[in-house]
């Protein structure tokens, strides 16, 4: 023990004076953690510091802050959000008059003849149906593209429709739709573009930011995620361009958090497309990797594009996003056979039912020490309205359930007056976001934000999962309060659950041998009142044993 710095028993990082919430049943609480070479090498009390302190050990006293396994956002679109969040932030706009005022100002200030905005809720428009002719006259001729808050639809101004040559209905491999009115001369687009293929018709005309700007914006977004305590995110989109962007960004320096990317697989994909998605599974950087493929079986309730067992109040949401759902089933089986875990956006009960029919026969993932094969369970994202039988089936199937508590708390009103509730009607709206029931049925439930659909602050999301209302609004009545979960379960949904969902048992827990991805926050997230957690500072974020954020 003459030279601790060269001894194998010196830690690179010692976290002391902490309230360590380990999530390890063998040692639930501790006060110190030693880290070497990116891995937790000791957990315990004062003796840990004595045992592991070396000449080059960085010692960080945490002043009694809670230290937990690092928080992982189970559903996020950090790269996709760069395009999805182009232009003005319209998330706070609540009335048509307000929107028209904002657009008029943006048009006056525009230097390139474009107005772009994002995060707009459909309730701003009469009947919740966006229409270009309600905003055209304030644009002063500017081309305007507004991305809706659900990230599944957009509104193009009549000037943009004209410039993009969008002059009538289109047929896609998906059920995406150029929404049209019946006009005397034939169907005429209203400007509302529903789902990916239709949105892309306008998207490709919008000015895209230069690469340097994209890198700067993505870097600062990821930096802020780390500042908010995230050590990782499951990225629910991706294509060749976004994977290349991650490559270039990591060329500038280490990413501040880990990204596990599931690239998109869209309807109309052919065998070569599936082969490419399988080949991409080998792509990995230092802190990002491709793992899985993201598919969508339906759209959204708000947009009338979900797949419900029975139509909504407008007679919509009746089918799959795939014109041929059996093509989806074939693709999923091909990916499964190639060892690729799939992630399927499934919002309506009909869509969930169909996907479970496809996934159940595929069985559980292969054991880590077994022959090559799929290592993680298939996943379902969103699960917004579920009858009892589907809750039971998800629990029994071993399919991971991925839920976004703030979609419920922030976009739905407890009195059922919002577009989502009205479309579904009280019975189905009453079966919304059944997080507690899914857990009770034995499902692994991963929590996340769906950024940029909702904010990625994990503290507010863990709080909303407990409150079923926005933590910042004490007066809001809770939505489905019987589905509230405990503080400890919410923390698990941000830590152990995403690790297990990724087939990675060495994460999401603080114990010897676990990856040193850690988050320290001012209050104990398993016992603090939700509002206190939401207001508590994140004092430290550690990724792979390296502090990526710390307060002064
Ligand atoms: Zn998403």
Work out the average pLDDT over 520-545: 98
Residue 7 has pLDDT above 50, yes or no: no
What separation in Å is there between the alpha carbon of 59 and the centre of ligand 1?
Answer: 39
How confident is the model at residue 127, as a pLDDT? 86
Cβ–Cβ under 8 Å, residues 411 and 421: no
How confident is the model at residue 286, as a pLDDT? 97
Residue 5 has pLDDT above 50, yes or no: no
Q: Is residue 154 exposed (0-12), middle (13-18) or buried (19+ Cβ within 10 Å)? A: buried
How confident is the model at residue 300, as a pLDDT? 93
Using alpha carbons only, give the angle 78, 81, 87 rounded to the nearest 5 degrees.
140
Q: What's the per-residue H, E or C state across 185-249?
A: CEEEEEEEEECHHHHHHHHCCCCCCCHHHHHHHHHHHHHHHHHCCEEEEEECCCCHHHHHHHHHH
Q: Angle at which helices 211-227 and 240-252 pack, to 10 degrees?
A: 70
What separation in Å is there between the alpha carbon of 106 and the centre of ligand 1?
Answer: 28
How high is the mean pLDDT of the chain? 95
Residue 520 has pLDDT above 90, yes or no: yes
Taking CA atoms, 550 is separated from 81, 325, 520, in Å, by 26, 48, 9
Q: Could you tell me which of 371, 375, 367, 376 has the C-alpha nearest to residue 399?
A: 376
Q: What pTM was computed for the model? A: 0.92
What separation in Å is there between the alpha carbon of 190 and the centre of ligand 1?
Answer: 25
pLDDT-above-70 percentage for the chain: 98
Torsion of CA 105, 109, 115, 121, to 10 degrees: -30
Residue 3 has pLDDT above 80, yes or no: no
What separation in Å is there between the alpha carbon of 33 and the centre of ligand 1?
Answer: 35
How confident is the model at residue 4, as a pLDDT? 41
Give me the helices (H) in 269-311, please: 271-280
What separation in Å is there between the alpha carbon of 446 and the centre of ligand 1?
Answer: 13
Residue 131 has pLDDT above 90, yes or no: yes
Length of the chain: 552
How confident is the model at residue 151, as a pLDDT? 84
How confident is the model at residue 183, as a pLDDT? 86
What separation in Å is there between the alpha carbon of 237 and the centre of ligand 1?
Answer: 8
What separation in Å is there between the alpha carbon of 268 and the centre of ligand 1?
Answer: 20
What separation in Å is there between the alpha carbon of 512 and the centre of ligand 1?
Answer: 34
Question: Which run of H or E residues covers position 490?
Answer: helix 487-494
How confident is the model at residue 97, as a pLDDT? 98
Residue 61 has pLDDT above 70, yes or no: yes
Displacement of CA 447 from its chain's centroid (Å): 8
pLDDT in tens, 158-192: 999 999 999 999 999 999 999 999 988 899 999 99
Q: For residue 519, what are the β-bridge partners?
A: 68, 541
Q: Which tokens is 70 given?
A: 């690092």
Q: Could you tell me which of 478, 492, 320 has the C-alpha nearest to residue 403?
A: 492
Q: What's the per-residue H, E or C state across 422-463?
A: HHHHHHHHCCECCHHHHHHCCCCEEECCCECCCCCCHHHHHH
Cβ–Cβ under 8 Å, residues 384 and 430: no
Work out the average pLDDT over 377-388: 98
Phi, psi of 169 (to 5 degrees): -65, 150
| SS3 label, residue 278 | helix
How confident is the model at residue 2, as a pLDDT? 37
How confident is the model at residue 552, as a pLDDT? 67
What separation in Å is there between the alpha carbon of 134 and the centre of ligand 1?
Answer: 28
Work out the widest C-alpha separation in the chain, in whole angstroms: 91
pLDDT in tens, 299-331: 999 889 999 999 999 999 999 999 999 999 999
Torsion of CA 279, 285, 289, 294, to 10 degrees: -70
Residue 1 has pLDDT above 70, yes or no: no
Displacement of CA 405 from its chain's centroid (Å): 11
Work out the average pLDDT over 428-452: 97
Residue 204 has pLDDT above 50, yes or no: yes
pLDDT in tens, 112-128: 999 999 999 988 999 88
How confident is the model at residue 371, as a pLDDT? 80
Phi, psi of 121 (to 5 degrees): -90, 140
Quickly state the pLDDT bin for 8 (edges 50, 70, 90): low
How confident is the model at residue 367, as a pLDDT? 83
């Amino acid at each position: 023990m003459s030279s601790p710095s060269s001894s194998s028993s010196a830690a690179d990082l010692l976290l002391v004076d902490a309230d360590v919430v380990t999530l390890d049943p063998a040692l639930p609480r501790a006060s110190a953690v030693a880290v070497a070479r990116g891995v937790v090498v000791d957990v315990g009390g004062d003796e840990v510091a004595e045992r592991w302190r070396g000449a080059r050990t960085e010692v960080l006293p945490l002043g009694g802050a809670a230290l937990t396994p690092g928080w992982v956002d189970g559903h996020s679109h950090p790269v996709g959000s760069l395009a999805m969040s182009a232009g003005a932030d319209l998330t706070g706009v609540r009335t048509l008059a307000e929107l028209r005022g904002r657009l008029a100002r943006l048009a006056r200030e525009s230097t390139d003849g474009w107005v772009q905005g994002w995060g707009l809720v459909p309730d701003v428009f009469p009947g919740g149906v966006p229409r270009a002719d309600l905003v055209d006259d304030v644009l002063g001729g500017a081309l305007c593209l507004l991305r809706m808050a659900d990230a599944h639809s957009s509104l193009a101004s009549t000037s943009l429709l004209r410039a993009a040559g969008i002059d009538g209905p289109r047929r896609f491999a998906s059920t995406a739709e150029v929404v049209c009115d019946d006009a005397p001369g034939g169907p005429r687009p209203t400007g509302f573009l529903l789902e990916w293929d239709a949105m892309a018709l306008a998207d490709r005309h919008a000015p895209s930011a230069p690469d340097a700007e994209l890198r700067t914006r993505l870097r600062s977004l990821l930096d802020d995620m780390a500042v908010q305590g995230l050590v990782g995110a499951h990225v629910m989109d991706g294509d060749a361009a976004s994977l290349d962007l991650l490559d270039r960004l990591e060329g500038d320096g280490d990413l501040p958090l880990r990204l596990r990317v599931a690239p998109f697989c869209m309807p109309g994909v052919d065998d070569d497309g599936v082969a490419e998605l399988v080949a991409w599974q080998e792509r990995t950087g230092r802190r990002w990797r491709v793992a899985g493929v993201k598919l969508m079986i339906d759209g959204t309730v708000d947009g009338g594009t979900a797949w419900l067992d029975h139509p909504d109040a407008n007679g919509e949401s009746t089918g799959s996003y795939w014109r041929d759902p059996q093509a989806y089933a074939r693709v999923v089986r091909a990916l499964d056979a190639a060892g690729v875990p799939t992630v399927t956006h499934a919002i309506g009960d009909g869509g969930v039912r169909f996907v479970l029919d496809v996934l159940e026969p595929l069985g559980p993932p292969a054991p880590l020490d077994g022959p090559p094969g799929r290592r993680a369970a298939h996943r379902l994202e969103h699960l917004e309205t579920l009858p009892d039988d589907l809750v039971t089936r998800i629990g029994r199937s071993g399919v991971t359930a991925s839920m976004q508590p703030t979609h419920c708390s922030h976009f739905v009103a407890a009195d059922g007056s919002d577009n989502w509730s009205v479309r579904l009607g009280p019975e189905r709206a009453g079966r919304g976001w059944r997080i507690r029931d899914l857990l009770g049925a034995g499902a692994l439930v991963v929590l996340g934000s769906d950024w940029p659909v909702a904010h990625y602050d994990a503290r507010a999301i863990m709080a909303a999962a407990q409150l079923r209302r926005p933590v910042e609004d004490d007066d809001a009545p809770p939505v489905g309060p019987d589905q509230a979960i405990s503080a400890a379960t919410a923390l698990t949904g941000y830590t152990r659950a995403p690790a297990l969902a990724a087939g990675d048992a060495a994460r999401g827990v603080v114990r010897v041998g676990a990856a040193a991805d850690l988050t320290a926050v001012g209050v104990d997230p398993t016992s603090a009142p939700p509002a206190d957690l939401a207001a508590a500072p994140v004092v430290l974020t550690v990724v792979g044993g390296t502090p990526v954020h710390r307060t002064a």
